[in-house]
Amino acid sequence: MAKHIARKRFGQNFLADDKIIEQIIKTIAAKKNDNILEIGAGQGALTLPLLLRLERLNVIEIDRDLVKLLNSFKHKNLTVHQADVLKFDLSKIPAPMRIVGNLPYNISSPILLHFLAHRDKIIDMTFMLQKQVVERITAKNGSKIYGRLSVILQAFFEMEMVFTVPPEAFSPAPKVDSAIIYLKPLKKPLAKNIYLLQKIVKAAFSKRRKTLRNCLKSLLIQEQTSIELSQRAEMLSVADFVKLTNDYEKTL
């Protein structure tokens, strides 16, 4: 098969460092019976070592040329789904599942939010992302990089940045550092109403330099909550945001 030329529009940066690949495989720690779904299998850098450990593996890949390549492995335990992960019907895969992948960085936030909506089917997720995005997701309140994605994801997942990966580990090399993040749905999610939490968080961070009173004025006023609205959004913990959302819900 002709050598594949990486497609930028699909965020194709293929893992090319055996040590890093081994480290990722160790982090995933797949057990024979695990039900794993890999996103963006590419040329199989993670797929092939995973197949050595698994009785079955489902992968989603959007690029038809790479799907051909993956199918040419003719591995009996591998099922390749040619699809856009954001449109893929997850009910095709038995639940619960573990999800892994070296994600296309251009759509990593939509992918995370997509799986947030399907968290009840997920055991855990191990992803390679842009390091900056991992830092944003795991940031705590009080930090300049704490934002919408940090609050929304931390309200539903426990998470950990596992290790960082330099650009040279990929071919072609991305312009940015990367990192592995592990996410696991919280048994008791902090928030109940995801839609309202998203609404509050979006409004709260819409103008980072303004106070919450200003950002949230069309939603709720100080008299309706014990959260001090003279603060800026970045000062509120995830639990504070949940409280704010619950107080907002009471006004509806």
- Positive/negative CA dihedral, 203, 204, 209, 213: positive
Q: Taking CB under 6 A as the rule, does residue 23 contact ligand SAM?
A: no
- Give whichever of 11 and 147 is closer to ligand SAM, judged by the CB atom: 11
- Give whichever of 6 and 186 is closer to ligand SAM, judged by the CB atom: 6
Out of 30, 51, 54, 60, name the contact with ligand SAM by CB under 6 A. 60
Q: Taking CB under 6 A as the rule, does residue 104 contact ligand SAM?
A: yes
Q: Taking CB under 6 A as the rule, does residue 13 contact ligand SAM?
A: yes
Q: Please count the other Cβ atoms lying within 10 Å of the Cβ belonging to residue 88.
A: 17
The tokens of 105 are what? 């960085």
- Give whichever of 86 and 95 is closer to ligand SAM, judged by the CB atom: 86
CA distance 201 to 117: 16
Please report, as a single letter, which amino acid is at residue 34.
Answer: D
Helix (H, G, I), strand (E, B) or coil at 160: strand
Nearest to 44 by CA among 20, 21, 28: 21
Q: Taking CB under 6 A as the rule, does residue 126 contact ligand SAM?
A: no
Q: Taking CB under 6 A as the rule, does residue 69 contact ligand SAM?
A: no
Stretch touching ligand SAM by CB under 6 A, among 27-35, 84-92, 180-188, 192-200: 84-92
Stretch touching ligand SAM by CB under 6 A, among 42-50, 69-77, 91-99, 177-185: 42-50
CA distance 199 to 148: 10
CA distance 41 to 61: 6
Out of 25, 57, 62, 152, name the contact with ligand SAM by CB under 6 A. 62
Nearest to 243 by CA among 208, 209, 200: 200
The residues binding ligand SAM (CB under 6 A) are 10-15, 40-43, 45-46, 60-63, 66, 84-86, 102, 104, 107
